[in-house]
Chain A
Amino acid sequence: MSVLAGPAVPVVSPPRGRASRSWSAAVRAVSLPLLLAGLVLPFLPLLLWAVAERYPYPALTPTVTSSRPLRLLADPTSEVLTGLVNSVSIAVAVAIIAALIGLSAGRALGLHQFRGKRLVQFLLLAPVIVPGLAVTLGIQVFFIRYGLSDTRRGVVLVHLLAAVPYVSLVMSSVYANLDLRLEDQARTLGAGPVQVFLRITLPAVAPGLAVAGLFAFLISWGEYVLTLLVGGGAVKTLPLLLYSYLGSTDTPVAAALGLALVVPPVLLLAVTSRLLSGEGTPLAGFGRT
């Protein structure tokens, strides 16, 4: 049968191929905008509420707009500024400490072969899988006992639990791509360990390190329940403020706080994607924030 049908194939198949191609093009033309619209849509009510003074049902847009909610973000007398200072200082501390820890652990994981390596990788992966809340409930007693509860130090420490595994795993793959012959050449030319590290190793892993640090920053920046558990009411970060405003009647300020939590990470994403020059995989770290 195939022999008989053979000559007919070239005649029939091109139109059919074109038809199915145009059909798939049509599907694409509809579904891509739909997908992107669905991803952008939830930002819309945040933007609308953040400039609203009066936004009664069933109006689609605010009936009276105002810059009050956004101005409150910059108002030094409001608690928002305290929240911002807390959030930034904690996230920066977490980023720096986690990056240093990852810089160290990543080298061993990426370059050394040793017994128990799989166990170490498993241990580092466990906090990524097991929910932070379930674990933190267990150690909260010790945070209280050792005076870490209700302090920024304590919050930094508990955020490190979430950040260190990610940073170590990212740095391990960064080191795995490091060309060790460069270090050897520097040594042959008489460079000491410090010189080799500062002149060769650090510049080579710096882009990866920056990305890992940004992950750690974002994990800390978006954290809510661990901050609540360890910081009590005393360490008010932006997510804690957002939650308390969502419970109040002042929805416009809640929306403005939501935007304040979104803008810095999105700007950081733009920086990161430039550092990565379009490489997608390490962005996986954002998933948990």
Chain B
Amino acid sequence: MITTRAARRRGLPQGLATLLLLAPALGVVLVLFGGGVVMGVLASLGYQPFLPGRDLSLDAYRGLLDDVEVRRSLVLTFRIALLSTLVSAVLAVGAALLLRGTRRGRRAALLVFQLNLPVPHLVGAAAMLLLLGQSGLVSRLLFAVGLVDAPAAAPVLTNDAVGWAIMAEYVWKEVPFIGVVVLAALSGGVSDLEDAARSLGAGAWSRFRFVVLPHITPAVVSTSIIVFAFTFGSYEVPLLLGQPFPATLPVVAYQAYSDTDLTARPRAMAIAVLITFLVVLVVLAYSVLTERVLRPAERRRVTGT
């Protein structure tokens, strides 16, 4: 109401003022993001802007279904993203509870906990390479205690079939990310509720399950959505730490895209569209699922049943 009055005084109708304020941000998103999605779909169907056209077809998508590389890459990408997100979320909740209860050295602990938040993922990947590679620091430590007698005898943690180093990098980066948001959620009056629960005789597990967990669920859900989407679509981490075949989907997409043979373009675009589609699908499914399973009480309140 106040804004309406203010806008009128400036001589602009509210709707127009809103539109003008939003225009630059919407411009960036609609042109770059919207344009990218639409052009990606068109290019996957064989459309080439500024070049002599071909007939639109679903050939690229049909090709993906028969493509062993893409199928194996899909499984690998899903597994890495899912495991990294799950492990990060569990460790982050534990870390947040741990840090919340820390009294002595709390400031220092929080500082160290947040230290890697602004570190670029490429640097994290480089660090993992020097840490977990077969001649890396871990292998040297194993040599020092006599468990390994040569780099070749060290466990293969980088450029491997499982993707250990990739997952290690994601977990390393994302535990503080989720943890910081969970800590913020925990600072909002939940300890009073815990005290009330304790005085009513609730044990440690009950207090966690019925007081703390519902309180932090929104924070965990929203951050783990971001983490899953990121780990599914990240390029540089699996490029540096993963094996060449099968690589994760973004790496395969980029390889196909940078192929000098332009007929590989629709395939690259189809993989890019597949990545977008799957991320959106998983995020939607996850949102619906958590809404139903974890917050029935809230839903009841909203729907009034």
Report A's interface with B, CB cutoff 8 A.
20, 24, 28, 31-32, 35-36, 38-46, 48-49, 57-60, 100-102, 104-105, 107-109, 111-112, 114, 120, 123-124, 126-139, 141-142, 145, 157-158, 160-161, 164-165, 168, 180-181, 183-184, 187, 193, 218, 221-225, 239, 242-243, 246, 251, 254-255, 258, 261-262, 265-266, 268-269, 273, 279-281, 283-284, 286-289
Q: With an 8 A cutoff between CB atoms, is B161 at the interface?
A: no
A46 and B26 in contact, given A31-B98, A58-B144, A137-B268 (Cβ under 8 angstroms): no
Can you give 5 contacting A-B residue pairs, CB < 8 Å? A104-B23, A129-B225, A138-B269, A158-B32, A265-B118
Could you tell me if B123 and A157 are in contact, using CB atoms closer than 8 angstroms? Answer: no
The answer to whether the Cβ of B233 comes within 8 Å of any Cβ in the partner chain is yes
Task: For the complex, give the distance between the alpha carbons of A134 and B41 in Å.
Answer: 11
Give the complex CA separation of A9 and B254 in angstroms: 67
Q: Contact partner of A142 among B49, B101, B118, B204, CB < 8 A?
A: B49
Shortest CB distance A246–B (Å): 6
Q: Which of B169-177, B209-217, B289-297 contacts A (4 or more CB under 8 A)?
A: B169-177
B226 at the interface (CB under 8 A from A): yes
Interchain nearest-CB distance for A32 vs B (Å): 6
B233, A133: Cβ atoms under 8 Å? yes
Flag whether B87 is at the interface (Cβ < 8 A). Answer: no
Determine the chain A residues whose CB is within 8 A of the CB of B283 once the complex forms: 129
Q: Give 4 A-B pairs besides A258-B123, A279-B184 with Cβ atoms closer than 8 angstroms.
A: A120-B22, A123-B26, A131-B234, A283-B117
* A239 and B122 contacting across the interface, CB-CB below 8 Å: yes
CB-defined contacts of A142 to chain B, threshold 8 Å: 35, 39, 49
| B25 adjacent to A137 (CB under 8 Å) | no
Choice from A126, A127, A158, A187 contacting B6 with Cβ under 8 Å: A187
Q: Once the chains bind, are B131 and A42 in contact (CB under 8 Å)?
A: yes
Q: What count of chain B residues pass the 8 Å CB interface test?
A: 105
Residue pair A134, B50 in contact (C-beta under 8 Å): no
CB < 8 Å neighbour of B180 from A44, A108, A242, A283: A283
Q: Which of the segments B67-75, B189-197, B271-279 contacts the partner chain?
A: B271-279
Q: Are A134 and B250 in contact (CB under 8 A)?
A: yes
CA distance A135 to B229 in the complex (A): 13
Report whether B39 and A138 are in contact in the complex, using a CB–CB cutoff of 8 Å: yes
A126-B33, A157-B32 are known contacts. Are A184 and B131 too (CB-CB below 8 A)? no
Q: Tell whether B40 is near chain A: CB-to-CB under 8 Å.
A: yes
Q: Return chain B residues, CB-CB under 8 Å to A60.
A: 137, 140-141, 144
B272 near A123 with CB under 8 A, answer no
The number of residue pairs between A and B whose CB atoms lie closer than 8 Å in the complex comes to 305
Chain A residues whose CB sits within 8 angstroms of the CB of B166 once the complex forms: none
- Report the Cα distance A96→B20, complex, angstroms: 19
> Is B25's CB under 8 angstroms from A246's CB?
no
- Contact between chains at B123 and A105 (CB < 8 Å): no
From B129, which residue of chain A is reached at the shortest CB distance? A246
Q: CB-CB < 8 A to B263: which residues of A?
A: none
| Contact status A288-B230, CB under 8 Å | yes
Q: Could you tell me if B253 and A35 are in contact, using CB atoms closer than 8 angstroms? A: no
The reply to whether A102 and B25 contact each other, CB–CB distance below 8 Å, is yes
In Å, the complex CA distance between A287 and B225 comes to: 12
Q: How far is the CA of A104 from the CA of B17 in the complex (A)?
A: 10
Report how far A59 CA is from B139 CA in the complex, Å. Answer: 10
B85 within 8 A of A: no
Residue among A100, A127, A158 having the largest count of chain B Cβ atoms under 10 Å: A127
Contact check, B118 vs A218: say whether CB atoms are below 8 A apart. yes
**Interchain nearest-CB distance for A26 vs B (Å):** 13
**Which residue of B is nearest A222, CB measured?**
B120
Residue of B whose beta carbon sits closest to that of A281: B184
In the complex, the answer to whether A269 meets B118 with C-beta atoms within 8 Å is: yes
Q: Which of B2, B26, B275 contacts A134 (CB 8 A)?
A: B275
Complex contacts, A193 vs chain B, CB 8 Å: 10
User: How would residues 8 to 22 of chain B score, 1 for a CB under 8 Å from any chain A CB and 0 otherwise?
Assistant: 011000110110111
B30 touches A123 (CB 8 A): yes
Cα A48 to Cα B15 with chains together (Å): 58
**When the two chains form their complex, are residues B33 and A127 in contact, meaning their CB atoms are under 8 A apart?**
yes
B140's partner among A58, A101, A246 (CB-CB below 8 A) is: A58
B29 on interface, CB distance cutoff 8 Å: yes
- Complex Cα gap A120–B27 (Å): 11
Q: Are B95's CB and A280's CB within 8 A?
A: no
The 4 residue pairs across chains A and B that have the minimum distance between CB atoms:
A131-B233, A222-B120, A138-B40, A265-B118
Query: Is B243 among interface residues, defined by CB-CB distance under 8 A?
Result: no
